[in-house]
Amino acid sequence: MKSSKLGIIGVGHVGKAVLTNLLRTTFFNEYILIDTREDRVFGEALDQNHGTGALNHHNFKIRNGTYDDLVDADMIIVAASYYYGDNILPNLERQELLEDNIPELQQIMEGIMGATQEAILIFVSNPVDTWTQLAITEFGYPKEKCMGTGTMLETARLRYTLAKHYQVDPKIVSTYMMGEHGNAAFMVPSHTHIAGIPFDDLDTFFPQESALNVADLNQEIVEAAGVVYDNKNGVTDAAIGIVTIELVQAIVLDEQTIVPLTSLHPVGTYSSKRELCFGMPTKVGINGIENRYELPLSDWESQKLEKSLQVIADSVDKGKELLMKRKDQ
């Protein structure tokens, strides 16, 4: 029987949160941890290994490793980011992280491409749409096996916020945030329901709760990361750790779940004149991307999408240019 191996590249706050959550599952029995901070990743592997000595824990193989160890990996999660020291990322917008992270992306993709093109490759690193797209178009990773968490985190935040407002279980809220993972993410009220009740009818069914304004709600969700960041000393790791497991589980268990991950959408998707990675409802299973669903959008949603796609296109162009300059050096 084949064992299953996961690689995590970048074991800072987010990589560690993903690892710790996964170690409560039995999706994988072998974990390879890769980080440029060799002492940090050695310590993390040792610390997590000590935990396997507890009688209520599974006996996993966890070690710090190299790209050679990923040759037979089933899945690789990239949560690396240029290390700014002092244990925190600077207070930069996600797009502002791009320039410092181009060398990291290049090093990581060269390492992965030298090891495998078979593993499902999941990006969490920001700006996540750009990392995902450059991995495919500039380094050649197979597009149906390559994805990022996209607007899954914003969607979880929206589901939580709507559930809290209407005092219901988040699991019965069906909704999406789409577009860029970042300031240009937008909600899709026309496809938002609570227990089958359309967004526009919620005030009728929940008369005791105040009416929600879509633009204000959208703003609140987009700004939510900053609120966590400001209050957690520059870190957002808990929710993304859980959301990443949602995606991993959908793939490992072949759940055929539909989530707004980011992947490379062909020319013509929402009339886009170029192929582009952005968050939209996508079916995932054991082989990676299974299908994409181009939901009809309202005028407000279409305008938001257009803006989102422009932000990502500009970022991808800048990323390509920076990579080209490095190759010319």
Ligand X SMILES: NC(=O)c1ccc[n+]([C@@H]2O[C@H](COP(=O)([O-])OP(=O)(O)OC[C@H]3O[C@@H](n4cnc5c(N)ncnc54)[C@H](O)[C@@H]3O)[C@@H](O)[C@H]2O)c1
Site for ligand X, rule CB under 6 A: 9-15, 34-37, 40, 79-83, 89, 97, 104, 107-108, 124-126, 128, 149, 153, 181, 235-237, 240
276, β-bridge pairs: 265
The helix/strand/coil state of 285 is: strand
Percentage helix, strand, coil for the chain under 3-state DSSP, each rounded to 5: 50, 15, 35
Instruction: Measure the CA–CA gap between 102 and 105, rounded to whole angstroms.
Output: 5
Closer by beta carbon to ligand X, 89 or else 222: 89
Burial grade of 181 (CB within 10 A; 0-12, 13-18, 19 or more): buried
Closer by beta carbon to ligand X, 130 or else 192: 130
Closer by beta carbon to ligand X, 104 or else 301: 104
For residue 259, say whether it is annotated as part of any ligand binding site: no
Closer by beta carbon to ligand X, 107 or else 302: 107
Nearest in space to 178 (alpha carbons), one of 267, 266, 303: 303
CB 191 → ligand X: shortest distance, Å?
Answer: 21
For residue 56, say whether it is annotated as part of any ligand binding site: no
Alpha helices for the chain (secondary structure H): 13-22, 38-51, 98-115, 128-137, 152-166, 202-205, 214-231, 238-252, 299-328
Instruction: Measure the CA–CA gap between 105 and 165, rounded to whole angstroms.
Output: 40
Of the candidates 181, 191, 193, 265, the residue annotated as catalytic is 181
193 is catalytic: no
Instruction: Measure the CA–CA gap between 253 and 109, rounded to whole angstroms.
Output: 26
For residue 188, say whether it is annotated as part of any ligand binding site: no
CB 76 → ligand X: shortest distance, Å?
Answer: 12
CB 11 → ligand X: shortest distance, Å?
Answer: 6
Residue nearest to ligand X (CB): 12
For residue 35, say whether it is annotated as part of any ligand binding site: yes
CB 149 → ligand X: shortest distance, Å?
Answer: 5
- As annotated, the binding site for NAD(+) includes 10-15, 35, 101, 124-126
Catalytic residue annotation: 181
